[in-house]
Amino acid sequence: MHSIGLDIGGTKIAGALVDELGTIVAERRVATPAGDSALLEDSVVEMVKQLDAEAAAIGDRVAAVGVAIPGFIDAAQSVVYYTPNLPWRHEPMREKLETRLGLPIVIENDANAAGWAEFRFGAARLVSDMVMLTIGTGVGGAIVHDDTLFRGGFGAAAELGHLRLVPGGLPCGCGARGCIEQYGSGRALLRMANEVADAGGIGLPLAEARAETGVLTGDQVSTLLQAGDAGALAALRRLGRHLGEACASLAAVLDPQMFVFGGGVAQAGELMLEPIRAAFFENLPARGYHPEPEFRIAELVNDAGVVGAADLARHHFPSAGDPTAFSAHG
């Protein structure tokens, strides 16, 4: 039996019909009507109906639907407390969708969904404890402990991007200062690359690009990284050092077997992991006296959100599907 996963972003809604092995059978994508709550809900309903019809066309039915949302979700995976870039505030989304669709619905944080997908089917499928950091415009997080996704007492755990990294540091959109997000995100990488260029341009191409456009873009920095530009690499190393320091603190609390990094910046691969590992081991308490985690790049990339949401829905409603599919790594 299949389940449906939706991943709602600020610019697009992705949806997929997913089997119990995490394989995508059918998928859809539409633009997000981000400014209109009713139209956004209608878009979600229409996409689920289309994917439900896909299941019926292959002689199957949908067990449950998981909807991944970039915001704060309650512990019951039902109410959307707050979405920074979407118009939902204390929205009883699960109740609304179940009423309109007649299917079991689970609402989940998008980073949790992506992390769960990597744990079940991707980079962390052979471990029981992992931490995932999604390095995009901001920094998202997911924690799996003892084969279980950690949500916390109120459902809003694993907001790792808002751990304090630099006391009294840069102001963050969350209202605090010095958060990981201000030093380890894609936005932070752009700031650091511009600072390197302004300081004299360790790599001439970086300085030239800065002078030509006024402000470096993500595409420019990505291209320069792929070309091995010294300035862009210097900025990435700064970012990696900050992330490595943060991971050392997280390891002292969570003791994961693996750190997984997803998001657009993680496409830099080993270029990003190398400074992360170096800073991690420099700052790891009692290094050499206990096992050390692996560091890996996420494998599912853009499909992680829909696959994770679908699998979490299947997990949440085992009686709606095949109960033999629910062992954590089965």
Does the pLDDT of residue 313 top 70, yes or no?
yes
């997080």: which residue's tokens?
Answer: 141
pLDDT band at 301 (very low <50, low <70, confident <90, very high): confident
- What is the residue extent of each domain of the chain? 2-116+302-326, 128-298
> Average pLDDT in the 267-280 region?
96
Q: Which two tokens stand for residue 207?
A: 């300085």
Does the pLDDT of residue 201 top 70, yes or no?
no
């540091």: which residue's tokens?
Answer: 169
> Average pLDDT in the 2-31 region?
95
């997984």: which residue's tokens?
Answer: 260
> Average pLDDT in the 259-287 region?
94
Does the pLDDT of residue 153 top 50, yes or no?
yes
| Candidates 3.40.50.720, 3.30.420.40, 3.40.50.300, 3.20.20.70; CATH matching 128-298 | 3.30.420.40
- What backbone phi and psi angles, to 5 degrees, belong to 9? -115, 180
Tens digits of per-residue pLDDT, 20-31? 999 999 999 999
- What backbone phi and psi angles, to 5 degrees, belong to 23? -85, 130
Lowest-pLDDT range, 83-92, 250-259, 321-330? 321-330
Domains 2-116+302-326 and 128-298 alike in fold: yes
Q: Which two tokens stand for residue 68?
A: 């991944």
* pTM confidence score: 0.90
Architecture per CATH, 2-116+302-326: 2-Layer Sandwich (3.30)
Does the pLDDT of residue 307 top 90, yes or no?
yes
Spatial strand order of the sheet with 80-82 comes to: 72-73, 80-82, 89-91
pLDDT band at 290 (very low <50, low <70, confident <90, very high): confident
- pLDDT of 309 reads 98
> Average pLDDT in the 302-322 region?
86
Tens digits of per-residue pLDDT, 158-167? 999 999 999 9
Of 202 and 62, more confident: 62
> Average pLDDT in the 201-217 region?
77
Which of these, 299, 319, 321, lies nearest to 310 by C-alpha position? 321
Judged by phi (left if over 0) then psi (alpha if -120 to 50, else beta), residue 10 lies in alpha
> Average pLDDT in the 128-135 region?
97
SS3 assignment, position 329: coil
If one counts every other C-beta atom within 10 angstroms of the C-beta of residue 150, the result is 16
